[in-house]
Amino acid sequence: MAQAIGAGMTIVTRFAPSPTGRLHVGNIRTALHNWMLAKQAGGRFLLRIDDTDAERSREDYVEAIRADLAWLGIAPDGEERQSAQLARYDAAFAKLQAEGRVYPCYETQQELELKRKIRLGRGLPPIYDRGALELDDAGRAAKEAEGIAPHWRFKLDHDAPITWEDGVRGTQKFDPAQLSDPVIRRADGSWLYMLPSAVDDLEMGITHVLRGEDHVSNTAVQIQMFDALIAAADTQQSIPRFAHEALLVGKEGKLSKRLGSLGCDALRDRGIEPQAIVALLARLGTSLPVEPIADRGALLDTFDLSTFGRAPAKFDDTELERINAALVHQMEFEAVSDRLPAGMDAAGWHAIRPNLAHVAEAGEWWRLVTGPIDSREFSEEDRAYLAEAVRQLGWGEDPWRALTSALKESTGRKGKALFLPLRQALTGMDHGPDMGELLPLIGEARARERLEAAARA
């Protein structure tokens, strides 16, 4: 059960996805920030599967949500499922009904749309006109005799403004008379989001709700629901504190058309490291710099809702790739050894790592060591130079430095003329890993073979 928020209180946050699809960067960011808010304070982060929509919810998506959070290193301290709490919602509904805070409505969607258009035409806000409250018992009985099952609305109290101090947006104030009484239950008895979420937040002891700014008006309505539920239960519970962060947008506006490519599974398939996703999303939309920080402790230490901005947070796929490459360059061999090609050891990883944007590219670069390499055509002058390289090739502690020093002295070459033909002959490329690290990995026999072949080309 919920407790009063005060000194010494344990912060409890939650992430409440609906299992109707895969996680994408928008809801990953919500999950991450709730996890950070709790963990920074030594609190608890809970996962709640909002699966009351039986038609659209799928068990494979539930498993995918768990797997994606695990891959990202966002470990819940507990899990609840709304589908297991239906009796609790029925009980709360009955209490609110007894208090006169919910009421049945019989309008069709077409009738509601017509009402909205009429109000707009009169310059009024397009909210529900509470027409169902004008029905008496006989009127409701007549509707039901016609076979019309009611949907149910929560009746907002219009007597006082709804206010709260938002953790990101500051003081918020809503006139409840300018809001529609929200539908909380459909005619078929199934639940919409609002009431089950409020019931669960109280029962799970949620102290802080951090979510997108698209929920601000929902929060205004739910604050009255919390108050009504607490009063009906006659407890001393407190409602959660709320914070609403700006939504993510892309370079060209909303991300909605691109969410498939920005799903957790798609990012993983592209070779994006979970650390890169966390490093980017942890600070996206804040005044703090987005940096390739793999240490979650460092990210937690700087997490502060006061740094969150009100402007839309711009997600840039190029920036994610930049962060990913920088983090790959920091990764130790032990962290990636099971993803590397056969035969690549720590020295090989260290040599190739600076050239990678994704760990999966290691195999292509490792080919420079194991072969085969692309053949090149060399000028007569360069072939003679490479033949000299064969004669000068030795194998001591630093064979690359020894070879280039000897060739510089014997041929007078320097700079690009000294180094590039050797790189081309030894790797088939014009650029790549540091040759001082790469040549020992290629080995003397293979290096001599490649130089001899290039000298004959």
> What is the three-class DSSP state of 437?
helix
Pairing of strands 248-250, 313-314: parallel
Residue 279: C-alpha distances to residues 101, 320, 323 (Å): 45, 9, 8
For residue 412, give every residue at least 6 positions away whose Cβ sits within 8 Å of its Cβ, in sequence order, or none. Answer: none
Q: Which of 17, 13, 81, 33 is nearest to 263 (CA)?
A: 17
381 alpha carbon, distance to own chain's centre: 56
Cα–Cα dist 327/71, whole Å: 16
Cα–Cα dist 18/75, whole Å: 18
Residue 433: DSSP 8-state: S
Q: Is 115 annotated as a binding residue?
A: no
The C-alpha angle with vertex 399 and arms to 395 and 405, in degrees rounded to 5, equals 120
For tokens 């293979």, name the residue.
Answer: 446
Q: Which of 331, 285, 278 is nearest to 39 (CA)?
A: 278
Q: Which of 387, 360, 357 is nearest to 450 (CA)?
A: 387
Cα–Cα dist 427/13, whole Å: 53
Count of CB atoms situated within 10 Å of the CB of 75? 11
Q: Which of 431, 427, 430, 433 is nearest to 453 (CA)?
A: 427
Binding-site positions read: 257
Binding-site positions for ATP read: 257
